Chains A and B, each alone.
Chain A
Amino acid sequence: MEKSKKEVLVLEDILGSNKKIASSIRQKLLEHQILAVNLLSSPGSGKTSLLEKIGQKLQGKYRVGVIEGDVETERDAERIRKIGLPAWQITTHGACHLEAKMLARIFDQIPADLDFLFIENVGNLVCPASFDLGESLRFVLLSVPEGDDKPKKYPEAFITSQVFVLTKYDLLPYLPFDRERVVKEALEINPRLSVFQTSAVTGEGIAELCAFLESELEKRRVKNA
């Protein structure tokens, strides 16, 4: 038979399968009234240190769990367990980001009575931004030593986040970092961002960030009550 050529119109979202898994995770989190936060930043900008501080502050009053995403090792999960919180490590073995299906694989282990679930993404300010994990809120972190020019250089991470945390803020006096510029540029690409500044060394800003998280949790619980 003669070979015949034809066109097939598909129009299918390439990330559709990730989005589908993410929305089923989102649904489960909503049912259990868990506030999930996906943390994005470069490696070494202080995601784990921030989580240690937030975790310590919230753990008396709330049930907190942490998912740690890294290319290799259990190191971050071990740091979180040391402060008495449950932690689940996802090692991606090379992948530069977390995907919803990686979370789905361990989701059975997450207790339904958690209040907060923090998901520390693989350290990378680019790739994780493209993958919805079903989170309630996305945080983008930028540490003072990284420089004040980053929001416009890595716009997707800032556009898809609701919260912008400036970390290692105690280093501000020692570095040429223009706080006004970084906040202005971040708000130029995403005016809805809430901005916080924290230091895991001095503890500055941790109480404010925790108060924000508590109010987000309560707001959602009232809405769904």
Chain B
Amino acid sequence: MHEMSIVADLFTIIEEQARKSGATRVTKVKVLIGELSGVVPELFRSAFHSYKKGTIADKARLEIKVTKIKFKCHGCGKEITAKNIMDESFSYACPFCGSKDMELVSGRDLYLEKLEIETS
């Protein structure tokens, strides 16, 4: 359960952004959570709502978009979306050319995408 410490870092960014944009209140927070980021969206959500109390995002809604695991094959250059790396059937090889020279290009990311704020 490391979601709480990640949420603490998220709030550092939220408060800094809110100050920069002159927000009096943050009403919505949208984050991107990679399927392979090690963060469980449900736990992230409960950590968020318990952390927000007393902050500028006190009443904020949280929107989570889960980003897919994507590989780029260095053999043929194609992008491969892996449905679920935990699947028994998952094998680390490009379905188009069979190459194992693939790079994980998306799915580990954790981003604060945008905020909805109120200004007076």
- A18 cross-chain contacts in B, Cβ below 8 A: 9
A97-B2, A155-B85 known; A187 and B92 CB under 8 Å?
yes
Residue in chain B with minimal CB distance to A156: B38
A130-B37, A155-B86 known; A11 and B111 CB under 8 Å?
yes
Q: Mark A90-107, 1 if CB is under 8 A from B, else 0.
A: 000001110100000000
Q: Mark B1-43, 1 if CB is under 8 A from A, else 0.
A: 1100110011011000100010110010001000011110000
A222 an interface residue at 8 Å Cβ cutoff?
no
> Which residues of B (70-104) have their CB < 8 Å from a CB of A?
85-86, 88, 90-92, 100, 104
Q: Which of A26-34, A136-144, A188-196, A203-211 contacts B (4 or more CB under 8 A)?
A: A188-196
Q: Is the CB of A15 within 8 A of B9?
A: yes
In the bound assembly, the distance between CA atoms of A78 and B27 in angstroms comes to 50
In the bound assembly, the distance between CA atoms of A7 and B115 in angstroms comes to 6
> Which residues of A (1-32) have their CB < 8 Å from a CB of B?
1, 3-18
Q: Is the CB of B2 within 8 A of A8?
A: no
- B5 cross-chain contacts in A, Cβ below 8 A: 95, 97, 99
Residue in chain B with minimal CB distance to A126: B38
Best-buried of A96, A97, A188 by chain B (most CB within 10 Å): A188
In the bound assembly, the distance between CA atoms of A170 and B28 in angstroms comes to 55
Q: Is the CB of B104 within 8 A of A159?
A: yes
B117 an interface residue at 8 Å Cβ cutoff?
yes
Dominant SS among interface residues on chain A: mixed
A17-B12, A96-B1, A97-B2 known; A7 and B114 CB under 8 Å?
yes
- A190 cross-chain contacts in B, Cβ below 8 A: 92
Interface residue range, chain B: 35 or more
- A189 cross-chain contacts in B, Cβ below 8 A: 85, 90, 92
Q: Is the CB of A12 within 8 A of B39?
A: no
**Closest beta carbon of chain A to B110's beta carbon, Å:** 4
A12-B13, A15-B9, A130-B37 known; A5 and B92 CB under 8 Å?
no
Best-buried of A5, A9, A11, A14 by chain B (most CB within 10 Å): A14
- A131 cross-chain contacts in B, Cβ below 8 A: 2
Q: Is the CB of A12 within 8 A of B112?
A: yes
Q: Is the CB of B2 within 8 A of A159?
A: no
Residue in chain B with minimal CB distance to A153: B86
In the bound assembly, the distance between CA atoms of A33 and B103 in angstroms comes to 28
A39 an interface residue at 8 Å Cβ cutoff?
no
A81 an interface residue at 8 Å Cβ cutoff?
no
A152 an interface residue at 8 Å Cβ cutoff?
yes
Q: Is the CB of A10 within 8 A of B113?
A: yes
- Residues on A lying within 8 angstroms of B by beta carbon are 1, 3-18, 95-97, 99, 126-127, 129-131, 152-153, 155-156, 159, 187-191
Query: Which 8 A-B pairs give the minimum distances between C-beta atoms?
Result: A127-B2, A130-B38, A14-B110, A156-B38, A8-B115, A191-B100, A10-B112, A9-B114
15 contacts between A and B (CB under 8 A): A11-B113, A13-B110, A14-B31, A14-B111, A16-B9, A16-B13, A95-B2, A96-B1, A96-B2, A97-B2, A97-B5, A130-B38, A152-B86, A159-B36, A188-B90
